[in-house]
């Protein structure tokens, strides 16, 4: 079964400190859903478009588990703490194997 991934890119964040409450709730929800944080995008080398944006990559055992974790009550609660002023491009993708 192919793994599933959450990919989050943050093109704009006018309140980085505002993510603390969301991060705490989201971390618990991701762990409860079986997710494993692979990258928090601390170091980025930008090529092509040249945009260095914060990128978060989380791995799940399957695409279905990734979708279920997003739809979980715990993660939906985390989303209520997502701050105004932060722009995010969020995707759930299926791995190749």
Of 3.40.50.10680, 3.40.50.10190, 3.60.15.10, 3.30.70.100, the CATH number of 4-94 is 3.30.70.100
Q: What is the spatial distance between Cα 59 and Cα 30, in angstroms, rounded to a whole number? A: 10
Q: Where are the domains of the chain?
A: 4-94
Of the chain, the percentage scoring pLDDT greater than 70 comes to 95
Q: Is 4 exposed, middle or buried (0-12, 13-18, 19+ CB in 10 A)?
A: buried
pLDDT in tens, 37-65: 999 877 788 888 777 788 899 999 999 99
pLDDT of residue 14: 64
pTM over 0.85: yes
Q: Dihedral (C-alpha) 82, 23, 77, 59: value to the nearest 10 degrees?
A: 110
């Amino acid at each position: 079964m192919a793994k599933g991934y959450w990919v989050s890119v943050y093109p704009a964040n006018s309140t980085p400190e505002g993510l603390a409450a969301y991060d705490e709730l989201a971390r618990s929800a991701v762990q409860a859903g079986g997710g494993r944080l692979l990258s928090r995008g601390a170091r980025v080398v930008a090529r092509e478009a040249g945009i260095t944006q914060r990128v978060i990559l989380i791995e799940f055992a399957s695409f279905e588990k990734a979708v279920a974790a997003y739809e979980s009550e715990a993660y939906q609660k985390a989303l209520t703490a997502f701050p105004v002023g932060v722009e995010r491009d969020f995707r759930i993708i299926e791995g190749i194997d």
